[in-house]
Chain A
Amino acid sequence: MAFAGIWNRRLSEAEIDAVYNNVKAYLAVGAIAI
């Protein structure tokens, strides 16, 4: 599983870390391709 997200404002560093850590914990080991 891979993740993509959009916000209509600029996130702070702490918020980016919060998103990343949350997603990282959720994602299975995988890949994203186009």
Chain B
Amino acid sequence: MGLDLLVPKGDFRDTGTYDVPVPSGCIGWYFLGGTLAASIRNHAPLGKSATVAGSPTVNDNYLGLVSQNSYIDTGIIGPASGGTYIVVGRAFGDGTTQAQRFSHIGKSGGGATGAFFQSIGPSSVEFVSYHNDGAGGGRNENDEHLNQLHRVVLAGCGFRQQWTNFPQQDYWSERHDCGEQRCIRS
């Protein structure tokens, strides 16, 4: 006696499902931009969609997010044992203001902890990490073109609390220990 399983034919691309190249341990995989619905879709295996807080502005190629006002809440609990966070995109504008930062995750305010990547002028970008004692460690990447494609990798981070949203700041509310924080131009 056998058991037949019938799977309806269909084009999985129509569902927006993406073939994640490194699925092992992947808990969040998002393409930001286009539509809000597409932006909050989590393509990670078994991943749940993010939820929207406030009113992010949707652009063809990115989302406009504002800390504590308009952001996407991934609902992902940061792994205490360490994880990896990767952002790929292009910086633009003068990132000296928060509204123009490429990526910012972490805890703001007193005892700020986290990292951000921003453009600081017409030809420079800056990657800055900071720690729960408020001491920052900046790293300048000079003579880069803002329109270059960048990737930002935070690896080996132990996130003790819920990692509630990104790429805008907010919040793992306790300290983290990042073994590696770097940006790479391409």
Contacts of B84 in A (CB 8 A): 6-7, 9-11, 16
Task: Select B100's contact among A8, A16, A33, beta carbons within 8 Å.
Answer: A33
Contacts of B151 in A (CB 8 A): 20
Closest B residue to A22 using CB positions = B21
Instruction: Give the size range of A's interface with the partner.
Output: 20 to 34
Instruction: State whether B66 touches A32 (Cβ < 8 A).
Output: no
Instruction: State whether B31 touches A33 (Cβ < 8 A).
Output: no
Instruction: State whether A9 touches B83 (Cβ < 8 A).
Output: yes
Instruction: State whether A32 touches B62 (Cβ < 8 A).
Output: yes
Given known A-B contacts A24-B149, A31-B62, A34-B102, A6 and B155 have beta carbons under 8 A apart:
no
Instruction: State whether A1 touches B32 (Cβ < 8 A).
Output: yes
Given known A-B contacts A31-B90, A34-B66, A3 and B32 have beta carbons under 8 A apart:
yes
Q: Mark B8-43, 1 if CB is under 8 A from A, else 0.
A: 000000000010011011111111111000000000
A18 to chain B, nearest CB (A): 5
Instruction: State whether A3 touches B89 (Cβ < 8 A).
Output: yes
8 contacts between A and B (CB under 8 A): A4-B167, A6-B29, A6-B74, A7-B22, A8-B25, A9-B82, A11-B86, A31-B92
